[in-house]
A and B are shown apart, each in its own frame.
Chain A
Amino acid sequence: MDAAASPPERSATTAARVVSARTPLVPRLRNLLERRELLWGLIVSDIRIKYKGSALGLIWSMLSPALTLATYYLVFSVFLKNGIPGFVVYLFAGLVVWTMFQTAVSTSTGVIVDRAGLVKKVSFPREILALSNVGASIFYFVIQFAILVGFVLLVGHHVTWSWAWLLLIAFVSLALFAAALGIVMSAITVYLRDVRHLMDVLLQLWFWVSPVVYSYSNSLATPLHNHGLTALYFVNPITPIILTFQRVIYGSPIVTSTTSGLPLHVLPSWPLSTFATMNVVILAVALVAFLAALAVFGRLEGNFESEL
């Protein structure tokens, strides 16, 4: 750098930044947007650090979901004989969604406590830490999803390609929900350290109330309807997202059972318009949840330093 060569020329154009007890939502969002390079840098370094020095590298991140997939396939299709043809595809479509959500939330939950050193010394929007974990899980999701697409093409599974655009909305909602929950949990964990373990248990429960390994339409729709609990089941925002992925990737809502030879109602046979409406509503809810999470985080972050 040359002496006296670069006077600070930006000052006239840069808007004032304000540090105060509470940052309102709009400047919070602007801050986040301004620091996207940091977010990107943290995501990349997260992924790099995780697989540095391991010979198999990224393959490790695929091994665990692959094993989960194989186990559930064996249990539900081979041993329990659920009769769903092409169950691997059904399972895979739901699992990529669930794995992304679960990884994002569970890794985000403890991130501020784990990175206390950074939080106490460097200034940046703290939400970025949770978001970087969501970002990393999106990266793994993309790889898994690519494998899923490759797989269905390979086995020649009948995919409803014309509805594929629904997946984009569903995915954005998924990422927003994961981020919202991750951001809030990362702040709560600072005050209540054992929430982390609670979250692990909750996520397990959550998995079983989401239609990943079983078919919603075949096993749950009727009993839920009879007890008037359908609405309650759909309080879980991940359910419609999983159903969308299954509907598009698995393709056929009604198939012939491999065990009984009778028609099997695997997925809701709603028309495209119903799925589209559902996804738009979910996206709107996800957006609100994300903004609410930022607002809650803003209220909680003021006391971080006396708790860390």
Chain B
Amino acid sequence: MSAVIEVSGVAKQFKIHHERHQTLKERLLHPRSGSTEIFDALRDINFTVGEGETVGIVGHNGSGKSTLLKCICGVLKPTAGQIRLRGSLAALLELGAGFQPELSGRDNVYLYGSMLGLSRRMVERVFEDIVDFSELAHFIDTPVKFYSSGMYVRLAFAVAVNVAPEILVVDEVLAVGDERFQAKCLDRIRLFQREGRTILLVTHQADTVRAVCDRAIVLDHGIQVADDTVGEALRIFRQRLLGQVPGHAVVSSTVQITSVTTPSGSFDMRRGEDLAFEIDVTSDHAVSANLVTEVFTRTGLLVSRSDAQAAPVELRPGVNRIQVEWRSVPLLDGVYDVNVGLVEASGGTVLAWREKAAAVQVLYDGRATGVVEIESSVTA
């Protein structure tokens, strides 16, 4: 697998002006008086993305993830280091930023296409697809200043995804638009994945990362704190995120989930049955913790997340065994991934996290389809 994006030693500093002298007159009147402060938005970021990979960049607000993305797209120039890109790149950053309100949708498609680095011929070839995807065939010759904001975004998105870039960069767009549009976005991303294109996704939604990414990079205050599998990266992300709450410092934790098993050793079950888990945890100190369990479908849909806050587990130094019992599991036919974590009861620090700790296979031969069956009675 060849590297498509190589980020090496990238740093970005912003100058914050406390007193702005933006005119020649002011500069002449107050030589040397404008005080500025340097803010490090990114520090020494290093990673590579291989061809066909889907990598998530996660971080809290202000962690520098959007700055990094803008550097990769070339909107910002890094202060130090460099980014090497192989292949065409389209960014779903600020949809429609390059639109000229006075021009028609048609003219803007070509102009926007050329901003994304496409020739007129290339846009011509996919023009029909763009119009179809945007569902704006009727308004394509209307100046875009008469478009609604939804139409605006649809047209921009249609151009960006139909130009078939080798690298697609997505920034939180999945969080905007109506549900149907979001589903369309996700479908497109999946299609790109199947076609072997490289995708870089920036988000603070762990669910999105889990649903589409192969790997994730975690940023915290401009520092790259993880470049790992989705599970491990998300654990670190949570830890950082929760660790930020004032007074809830991250404990250099030595709590570990060593194994997750069932008494029978098998995670196979039938719908409606009970399932018992045994979770072995080693700890070097006594601590009170809440058990968090998450259940996902194989397509990344979160079925359930529960946080047993009402009943914290008291961990003793040494090996502990935690028993969990799921009663009459309503899950339907399929395989479900279970994530298990321990969060300190008196704060929220993630003590330990185990991604895909178990894969539960549910057998069901009834007629209902979907993820769960709702117990119902029908009367007339």
CB of B195 within 8 A of CB of A8, answer yes
Q: A263 near B: Cβ within 8 Å?
A: no
Q: A271 near B: Cβ within 8 Å?
A: no
CB distance from B191 to the nearest CB of A (A): 6
CB of B77 within 8 A of CB of A41, answer no
CB of B84 within 8 A of CB of A16, answer yes
Nearest B residue to A46, CB-CB: B100
B240 contacts which chain A residues (CB < 8 A)?
Answer: none
The contact sample of 10 A-B pairs, CB cut-off 8 A, is: A1-B126, A8-B197, A10-B88, A19-B72, A20-B81, A37-B114, A37-B119, A120-B75, A192-B22, A192-B23
**Residue count of chain A within 8 Å CB distance of chain B:** 47
Binds A, one of B53-61, B103-111, B255-263, B358-366: B103-111
- B15, B84, B91, B164: the one within 8 Å of A18 (CB): B84
Complexed CA–CA distance, A166 and B24 (Å): 40
Q: B220 near A: Cβ within 8 Å?
A: no
B348 contacts which chain A residues (CB < 8 A)?
Answer: none
Interface residues on B, range: 35 or more
CB of A19 within 8 A of CB of B191, answer no
Nearest A residue to B120, CB-CB: A37
Q: B333 near A: Cβ within 8 Å?
A: no
CB of B103 within 8 A of CB of A45, answer yes
Chain B residues packing against A (C-beta within 8 Å): 2, 4, 14-17, 22-25, 27, 51, 71-88, 91, 93-94, 97-98, 100, 102-103, 107, 110-111, 114-115, 117-120, 126, 129, 162, 164, 166, 191, 194-197
B110 contacts which chain A residues (CB < 8 A)?
Answer: 41
Interface string of A29-65 (1 = CB under 8 A from B): 0000011011011100100110010000000000000
Complexed CA–CA distance, A41 and B112 (Å): 9
**8 shortest interchain CB distances as A-B pairs:** A123-B74, A20-B82, A121-B97, A8-B166, A194-B23, A121-B94, A38-B114, A19-B83
Q: A262 near B: Cβ within 8 Å?
A: no
Given contact pairs A37-B114, A122-B115, A306-B15, A49 touches B74 in the complex (Cβ within 8 A)? no
CB distance from B187 to the nearest CB of A (A): 10
Given contacts A37-B118, A122-B75, A123-B74, 8 further A-B contacts (CB under 8 A): A3-B195, A10-B87, A11-B86, A19-B83, A38-B115, A118-B98, A193-B23, A194-B25
Q: A21 near B: Cβ within 8 Å?
A: yes
Given contact pairs A45-B100, A45-B111, A123 touches B73 in the complex (Cβ within 8 A)? yes
Complexed CA–CA distance, A214 and B166 (Å): 59
Q: A305 near B: Cβ within 8 Å?
A: yes
Chain A residues packing against B (C-beta within 8 Å): 1, 3-4, 6-8, 10-11, 14-22, 34-35, 37-38, 40-42, 45, 48-49, 52, 117-118, 120-124, 191-195, 198, 301-303, 305-307
Nearest A residue to B133, CB-CB: A1
CB distance from A79 to the nearest CB of B (A): 38
CB of B164 within 8 A of CB of A42, answer no
A41 contacts which chain B residues (CB < 8 A)?
Answer: 110-111, 114-115, 120
- B16, B162, B196: the one within 8 Å of A8 (CB): B196
Complexed CA–CA distance, A15 and B166 (Å): 13
CB of B196 within 8 A of CB of A34, answer no
A120 contacts which chain B residues (CB < 8 A)?
Answer: 75
CB distance from A266 to the nearest CB of B (A): 40
- A18, A34, A35: the one within 8 Å of B83 (CB): A18
CB of A123 within 8 A of CB of B91, answer yes
CB of B94 within 8 A of CB of A14, answer no
Nearest B residue to A192, CB-CB: B24
Nearest A residue to B161, CB-CB: A1
CB of A14 within 8 A of CB of B87, answer yes
CB of A124 within 8 A of CB of B115, answer yes
Complexed CA–CA distance, A42 and B114 (Å): 9
B126 contacts which chain A residues (CB < 8 A)?
Answer: 1
A191 contacts which chain B residues (CB < 8 A)?
Answer: 22
A7 contacts which chain B residues (CB < 8 A)?
Answer: 195-196
CB of B79 within 8 A of CB of A123, answer no
Complexed CA–CA distance, A158 and B16 (Å): 63
B97 contacts which chain A residues (CB < 8 A)?
Answer: 117-118, 121-122
Nearest A residue to B117, CB-CB: A35
Nearest A residue to B94, CB-CB: A121
B196 contacts which chain A residues (CB < 8 A)?
Answer: 7-8
CB distance from B200 to the nearest CB of A (A): 14
Nearest A residue to B11, CB-CB: A21
CB of B78 within 8 A of CB of A19, answer yes
B72 contacts which chain A residues (CB < 8 A)?
Answer: 19
Complexed CA–CA distance, A38 and B100 (Å): 13
Complexed CA–CA distance, A195 and B118 (Å): 35
- B71, B102, B129: the one within 8 Å of A19 (CB): B71
CB of A21 within 8 A of CB of B119, answer no
CB of B74 within 8 A of CB of A195, answer no
A38 contacts which chain B residues (CB < 8 A)?
Answer: 114-115, 117
CB distance from A133 to the nearest CB of B (A): 15
CB distance from A175 to the nearest CB of B (A): 21
B111 contacts which chain A residues (CB < 8 A)?
Answer: 41-42, 45
CB distance from A160 to the nearest CB of B (A): 40
- A19, A40, A301: the one within 8 Å of B82 (CB): A19
Nearest B residue to A8, CB-CB: B166
- B102, B118, B129: the one within 8 Å of A49 (CB): B102
Nearest B residue to A115, CB-CB: B98
- A1, A10, A121: the one within 8 Å of B129 (CB): A1
Nearest B residue to A191, CB-CB: B22
B82 contacts which chain A residues (CB < 8 A)?
Answer: 18-21
- A16, A49, A192: the one within 8 Å of B103 (CB): A49
B191 contacts which chain A residues (CB < 8 A)?
Answer: 3-4
